[in-house]
Amino acid sequence: MTAELPAPVAKPRFESGFLTPYAFITPALLVMLGGLLYPVIMAFYLSFYDWEIGRDLEDAPFVGMTNFARMMTDPQVWEVLWVTIRFGFWTITIEMTLGVALALLLEKPIRGASVFRTIFILPLMVSPVVVGLIWRYLFDARIGWINYYLGAWFGIEPQVWLGDAQLAFFAIVFTDIWQWTPFIFIIVIAGLQALPSEVVEASTIDGANWYQQIFLVKLPMIKSILVIALLMRLIDVFRGMEVMLIMTGGGPGRSTELLSLHIYNRAFETQQLGYASAISVLLIAIVFGISTLILTMANPMKSRADV
């Protein structure tokens, strides 16, 4: 929050007209205020009411802090929060490890690298709804291809992937890894290839072996990229829900219900809009905390040197 922007390069003269920068900024500012800040404030406001779809807001009883009190003692909220944290832990750990490892293995520029890079970003471009559909099909208990190959190659009995708490959780983690490991891979490899070659060469001459090179030279130099990537993925964990909505709807039980999906289900499956808003406030607080962390660690508008 305290990050300082670099001073503008120069002071163009037209800026003496005091209003000009504001005129350039105001439209974007208004849209963001209206489209993002207003809903957030509205969520706060609604969380004090017991409001249902189809009723006038004026008729909704004011319930004060009841929704928040209920949230604090609601085991279901803590359950989905725990699901979200576990989901975040497994996906981010595996994606970061895999992505970084692959990037280190394959960092040397070779012919045709751009073709491969194009292929790797494809999963990222696919709509989350479509990702959910594809994997729901692959994990299907009866006609899914995963069951078929597990049976044909390893003799494993068909599993009800999306109908068992552990297996369903595994399925959504797996899907996320498929979609997002390439992201880590691409940005890490970009970072590695931008490293000044003299530094790496110097360390070789100094007699550093490969793991010293990786852990003492390369990774520390791309540390800020790694941190940003990690925090971005962390934010996504709290933002994502579409894939799970399509694949499992959050079930069985709440085993694949991330916090965002829980808010959606509370609001639109069981119609507790006020209570869902209270949980939204919790989500906003969490995301706000992580964002602050990102900003204090690295404000991309402050310095773009490491990209």
Partner 1 sequence: MNNDAFRQLWHYTALIILAAMALAPIWVMIATSFKDDILVQDGTPLWFFFVPTLDNYEYILTRGKFDRYLTNSIIVACASTIMTLLLGGFCAYALARTDFRGRNLMANSTLMVRMVPPAVLAVPAFAFVMLSGVNNDLMVLTFLYTALNLPFAIWLLFGFYKQIPVELEEAAIVDGASPLQVFFRVLLPLMKSGYAVAAIFTFRIAWNEFILALLLTGRKTRTLPVGAAGFITDTGVEWGRIMAMGTLIVIPPLLFTFFAARQIIAGMTAGAVKG
Partner 2 sequence: MNSIFKAGTVAIGALLLSTGAAFANPYEKYEGTTIVVSWPALSHFNKAEELIEEFTEETGIEVEVDALQYLKLRDRQLLEMSKDEGEYDIVSWVVMWKGEYVSKGLLTPLSQFYTMGSLVDPSYDINDIADGYLQNGGIVGGHKGYMPGKSGAMYGVPFGAETSILAYRKDIFEEQGIDVPATYDELRAAMAKLGEAGIPAMTSRGKTGHQVTAGWLLHLAPLGGKIFDDEWNPVINSPEAVEAAQVMREIAQTGPKGIPTFGFGEASAAFLQGDAAMYLDTLKIAAMSRDPKLSKVDGKVGFALHPVGSRCGSETGGFAMGIPANSQNKEAAFLFIQYMTSKKGDQRMVELGGDPIRISTLQNNADKFPDYSVVAEQLPCADPDWRPLIPEWNELNIDVLGQALTEVITTDKPIQPIMDAANEKARAIMEREGYYLWQ
Give the footprint of partner 2 on this chain (CB under 8 A).
52-55, 76, 141-142, 158, 160, 162-165, 248-254, 265, 268-272
Of 90, 128, 214, 221, the one binding partner 1 by CB under 8 A: 128
Q: Which CB sits closer to partner 2, 247 or 283?
A: 247
Interface mask toward partner 1 for 39-78; x: CB under 8 A: xx-xx--x----x-xx-xx---------------------
The answer to whether 238 contacts partner 1 (rule: CB under 8 A) is: yes
Residue with tokens 């194009």, as numbered in its chain: 118
Q: Which CB sits closer to partner 1, 4 or 198?
A: 4
Cα distance between residue 63 and residue 51, in whole Å: 10
Contact window for partner 1 (CB under 8 A) among 88-96, 165-173, 211-219, 228-236: 228-236
Per-residue three-class SS string for the chain: CCCCCCCCCCCCHHHHCCCHHHHHHHHHHHHHHHHHHHHHHHHHHHCCECCCCCCCHHHCCECCCHHHHHHHCCHHHHHHHHHHHHHHHHHHHHHHHHHHHHHHHCCCCCCCHHHHHHHHHHHHHCCHHHHHHHHHHHCCCCCCHHHHHHHHHHCCCCCCHHHCHHHHHHHHHHHHHHHHHHHHHHHHHHHHHCCCHHHHHHHHHCCCCHHHHHHHHHHHHCHHHHHHHHHHHHHHHHHCCHHHHHHCCCCCCCCCCCHHHHHHHHHHCCCCHHHHHHHHHHHHHHHHHHHHHHHHHCCCCCCCCCC
The answer to whether 217 contacts partner 1 (rule: CB under 8 A) is: no
Cα distance between residue 17 and residue 21, in whole Å: 9
What would the two tokens of residue 6 be?
A: 């670099």
Q: Which CB sits closer to partner 1, 8 or 75?
A: 8
The site partner of 205 among partner 1, partner 2, none (C-beta below 5 to 8 Å per kind) is none
Of 89, 149, 163, 220, the one binding partner 1 by CB under 8 A: 149
Interface mask toward partner 1 for 96-115; x: CB under 8 A: ------x--xx-x-x---x-
Of 262, 268, 267, 235, the closest CA to residue 248 belongs to 262
What would the two tokens of residue 301 be?
A: 């508008």
Of 85, 94, 104, 120, the one binding partner 1 by CB under 8 A: 120
The site partner of 198 among partner 2, partner 1, none (C-beta below 5 to 8 Å per kind) is none
Q: How far is the CB of 139 from partner 2 (least distance, A)?
A: 10
The answer to whether 126 contacts partner 1 (rule: CB under 8 A) is: yes
Q: Which CB sits closer to partner 2, 101 or 165?
A: 165
Q: Which CB sits closer to partner 1, 169 or 273?
A: 273
Contact window for partner 1 (CB under 8 A) among 72-80, 197-205, 207-215, 285-293: 285-293
The answer to whether 215 contacts partner 1 (rule: CB under 8 A) is: no
Of 182, 192, 222, 244, the one binding partner 1 by CB under 8 A: 182
The answer to whether 226 contacts partner 1 (rule: CB under 8 A) is: no
